[in-house]
Amino acid sequence: GRFAMCTSHPEVCRWLRDSLAQVFSQVPGLGGIFTITMSENLTNCAARGHRERCPRCRERKVGDIIAEVNTAMIEGMSKGSPSAEAILYSWGWPDADEGAIIGRLPKGKCRVMAVSERFMPIRRGGVDEIERDYSISIVGPGEYAKRIWRTAATNGIPTVAKVQAANSWELSTFPYLPVMDLVVRHAVNLVAENVSGVTLSWSLGCCPSDNLSVYSDIRRGETSADRVLDRMAERAYGKANVPRVRRAWTAFSNGFANYPFSYQTIYRGPHQWGPANPLYARKTDYKATMVCYPYDDLDGWRDKYPSETYVELIGKVAEGFAEGCRLMEGVANRRELDMFRAEQMHFAACRDQAKFVLARDRGDNEEMRRLAKAELDRAKAYWPIVRADSRIGYESSNHYFFVPR
């Protein structure tokens, strides 16, 4: 029941061009535009894969429609400001149409962006999975992004890598994750792909952090992962503490590499809420919602991972963060160390909440009491941390997942 203005109609394309020309001529200094033409929002008749509903678009190729929409906007932008530039997100473009879209784009006015780690295969806990959304635990780039970038380069169009440098939906309620070994590996890998730019976050992950500084150092020409991390550690913690900080970052990274990643897990698991997610003594039958409310829906959290495997993997993440926190004691300042400890509590809460659901469903009251006590102790330890640091629990598109109360 929802329709876009049909961009196959010349009046609509003219409107797009004129609108962008007006904006860019009347607002000097705008750098450019960023387009997402096949994602959540209905921006053309092919955007959601239902062009057959449109009498004009049903006979056209998807690639022609998407190229035309982007070209119209680029032409309008350029008319209003010749120096402006467009970044075109390849998210959702059908494989068969990538070449047709890229080949029709205006040269010298745009860059093509692809999610670096998209569609990369992983195997964790004996379970095979394909990355579908933003991740830090999966280090790119993968073949999908490389293919997009090669096609763009062949057509003389610069490229951009989309990454999550500071945090991701794997854990979005903190300013950043101290998994520097994973972050720097991804950054160094991109050097070999000759991308002309990097988008460092989506709505989440924008808070200033050492993670973002990794890309700054590499942009200045440093391509050695060890030298980047040594310099960062010395800058933040002093030369004498570099070896200890590097071991801590490795512990955080090695733990996080066990994350039970799946498209469903990152959106429906209890990791955003951690100790703030209530325990349910009786089965609710509520289904976890996207990002916001995990309830007790273990089947929704774990997706294709068996329950015991999910518990084991998220437990390894918690153990890695516990070791990283231990190494950071006496090195990191109190506020930073408390944030790392709170992140560890989130992963430990995921493990114990899953165990609680399993114990409840098999009628093991003694195990339920033990786990409830552990969660109560964790909540008490967490409370003063979240009270003292207003960054915790916040994500820019969802605002506060929880507050101390």
Number of C-beta neighbours around residue 163 at 10 A: 28
Instruction: State the Cα–Cα distance between residues 40 and 24, nearest whole angstrom.
Output: 26
CB within 8 A of 303, min separation 6: which ones? 262, 263, 264, 265, 268
The answer to whether residues 130 and 121 touch, using CB atoms and an 8 Å cutoff, is yes
- At position 285, the amino acid (one-letter code) is D
Q: What are phi and psi of 103, to 5 degrees?
A: -65, -20
Instruction: State the Cα–Cα distance between residues 115 and 144, nearest whole angstrom.
Output: 8
What confidence score (pLDDT) does residue 40 get? 75
The answer to whether residues 249 and 209 touch, using CB atoms and an 8 Å cutoff, is no
pLDDT tens for the chain, 405 residues: list them: 567 899 999 999 999 999 999 999 999 899 999 999 998 778 899 998 788 989 999 999 999 999 999 999 999 999 999 999 999 999 999 999 999 999 999 999 999 999 999 999 999 999 999 998 789 999 999 999 999 999 999 999 999 999 999 999 999 999 999 999 999 999 999 999 999 999 999 889 988 899 999 998 888 888 899 999 999 999 999 999 999 999 999 999 999 999 999 999 999 999 999 999 999 999 999 999 998 899 999 999 999 999 999 999 999 999 999 999 999 999 999 999 999 999 999 999 999 999 999 999 999 999 999 999 999 999 999 999 999 999 999 998 889 999 998
The answer to whether residues 99 and 85 touch, using CB atoms and an 8 Å cutoff, is no
What confidence score (pLDDT) does residue 292 get? 87
13, 62, 33, 9 alpha-carbon torsion, rounded to 10°: 10
Kindly report the pTM of this predicted structure: 0.94
DSSP code of residue 153: H
Side by side, which strands form the sheet with 159-162? Answer: 32-36, 85-89, 110-115, 159-162, 197-199
Instruction: State the Cα–Cα distance between residues 392 and 342, nearest whole angstrom.
Output: 9
Instruction: State the Cα–Cα distance between residues 107 and 254, nearest whole angstrom.
Output: 42
